Amino acid sequence: GPNCRKVHGSMPISNYKQGNATLHLYPHFKPLQKIKGVVDYLTTEISTSRQKRFSLVTFIDTPGLVDGDMKYPYDVNKTILWLGQMADLIFVFFDPIGQALCKRTLNIVEELNDKFVDKMRFYLSKADEAGHEADRQKVMMQIVQELCKRPGLNRCGFDMPAIYIPDASKQAVRCVNQIEEVCKDIEKTINQTVQNALNSLEHDCEQLSSEVSLRISRDNNARSENLSTGGRGLCLGLFGLALPSLLLLNLALRNAPEEVLFSYLGPRVVEFLYLFTLPLQVLSGMLPDSIRLGVMLALFAISIFILLIAKWQSRLKPILTRQEKRTLLEAQSYLRDYVKPKKQRLYEEYLRQSVADYDL
Triad 234, 236, 239: Cα angle to 5°: 110
42-62 per-position pLDDT tens digit: 888 887 777 777 778 888 888
Its CATH architecture, for the domain 13-191, is: 3-Layer(aba) Sandwich (3.40)
Give the pLDDT confidence score for residue 7 in this predicted structure. Answer: 40
Q: Over the chain, what is the mean pLDDT? A: 79
Q: What is the DSSP letter of 61?
A: P
Question: Looking at the DSSP assignment, which residues form a beta bridge with residue 13?
Answer: 47
Query: At 66, is the pLDDT very low, low, confident or very high (cuts 50, 70, 90)?
Result: confident
192 has a pLDDT exceeding 90: no
The predicted model gives 264-285 an average pLDDT of 73
pLDDT at residue 98, rounded to an integer: 56
CA distance 16 to 6: 19
Q: Supply the pLDDT for residue 176.
A: 79
Average pLDDT over residues 111-125: 89
Task: State whether residue 13 is helix, strand or coil.
Answer: strand
CA distances from 23 to 31, 33, 40 (A): 9, 9, 11
DSSP-assigned states of every residue in 172-231: P--S---HHHHHHHHHHHHHHHHHHHHHHHHHHHHHHHHHHHHHHHHHHHHHHHHHHHHH
What average pLDDT does the segment 291-296 reach?
A: 72
Highest mean pLDDT of the ranges 159-173, 211-225, 228-242, 341-355: 211-225
- For residue 98, count CB atoms less than 10 angstroms from its CB and return exposed for 0-12, middle for 13-18, buried for 19 or more: exposed
Q: Is the pTM of this model over 0.75?
A: no
* 132 vs 124, higher pLDDT: 124
**Do residues 113 and 152 make contact, with C-beta atoms less than 8 angstroms apart?**
yes
Which range, 2-16, 151-165, 315-329, has the best average confidence (pLDDT)? 315-329
Question: Over 90: is that where the pLDDT of 183 sits?
Answer: no
Give dist(CA 249, CA 284) in Å, integer: 13
Q: What are phi and psi of 209, to 5 degrees?
A: -65, -40
> d(Cα 150, Cα 45) in Å, to the nearest integer?
35
User: Which sign does the torsion angle of CA 148, 151, 153, 157 carry?
Assistant: positive
Residue 9 predicted with pLDDT over 50: no
pLDDT recorded at residue 287: 66
Give the separation between CA 287 and CA 268, rounded to whole angstroms. Answer: 29
Q: What does the pLDDT read at residue 100?
A: 59
Beta strands in 30-76 (DSSP E): 44-47
Q: Which of 13-27, 155-169, 176-190 has the lowest mean pLDDT?
A: 13-27
pLDDT of residue 273: 75
